[in-house]
Amino acid sequence: MNTLVRMVMMFLFLILVTHVSEAYNNCPKCGSIDVPYPLSTDDNCGDPRYKVYCNNGILEFLSARGFYYKILSINPSAYKLIISPPPIQKDTCYSSDLSSGGLKLDENLPFNISTHNTVMLFNCSERIIRSPLNCSSISFCRQFENNVEEGLGCKNTLCCHYLKDSAMTSHMIRLRVGGCTAYTSMVDMKLGSSFDSWTYGIELQWVPPN
C-alpha cells in the first residue's frame, strides 16, 4: 500500500470518527445530573428530538401542555428517566399541574410513560368508581393521605390507585375538575410496602435513536 493510499484512508477514518463523535455528543451536566446522549439541552449536543431543559441548574422535562417537571434520575442504558410528580398545593387537594389537565406527553416525540408507575388519584368524583381502579379502604392512597404531609389536604376525599399498564394510554395521566384533582406516583411499588419506602416519581422511557 503506497503512501498516498494510506493518507487517503487515514483522512477518511478521521472524518468518520469526527461524525461519530458529533452524533454521540453528550450535553454538559445540569447541576449534579449528567445529561447522556440522546437527551439534549442545547442545539449543539445530543439529539434535538430528545429535548430536556436545564433551568438554573435544574434539569427538567417539558410536557405537551407547557408544564415543567424536575428530572430526578436518568438511566441511559435502560432508556429511562424519572420525573418528579407535581406537588399537591399546600392545604388543598389540587396538583400544581391541574390547570394543564395533568401530565400529557407529545405523542410525536419519542417519550412515553412506562408500565412501572403506580398512580394515586385524589379528590375524585363518584363517577371514577365505575372505572377499573382500586378505590377501596385499603388502597395505597389511604396510606398517603394519612401519613404524608402533602396528602393531608386530600384526607377523606375519594381516592384510588392503579398500575399504569400497557392497556392504558402511555402519554397521559389525566386530571380535571369533575374527575380527580390531584395525583402522585410511585415507581416499582411493591405490594405490602410501607409508605416510608416508596420511591416517588413518574418513570418515562424513550425509544432509542435509529
pLDDT digits (tens, 9 = 90+) for 91-106: 999 999 999 899 999 9
For the residues 72-92, what does the mean pLDDT come to? 96
CB 28 within 8 A of CB 35: yes
Higher pLDDT, 109 or 196: 109
Q: In terms of Cα–Cα distance, which of 81, 116, 80 is closest to 69?
A: 81
β-bridge pairing 58-62 and 68-75: antiparallel
Q: What is the C-alpha separation between 48 and 63, in angstroms, rounded? A: 15
Q: Which of 44-48, 125-129, 139-143 has the lowest mean pLDDT?
A: 125-129
- pLDDT reported for residue 143: 92
Q: What is the C-alpha separation between 163 and 134, in angstroms, rounded? A: 10
Q: Which of 84-93, 108-117, 123-132 has the lowest mean pLDDT?
A: 123-132
- pLDDT reported for residue 168: 67
- pLDDT reported for residue 172: 92
In three-state secondary structure terms, 45 is: coil
For the residues 188-192, what does the mean pLDDT come to? 86
CB 91 within 8 A of CB 144: no
Q: Strand runs (DSSP E) across the chain, as ranges?
A: 27-30, 33-35, 53-55, 58-62, 68-75, 80-83, 102-104, 111-113, 117-122, 160-163, 172-174, 182-187, 202-206
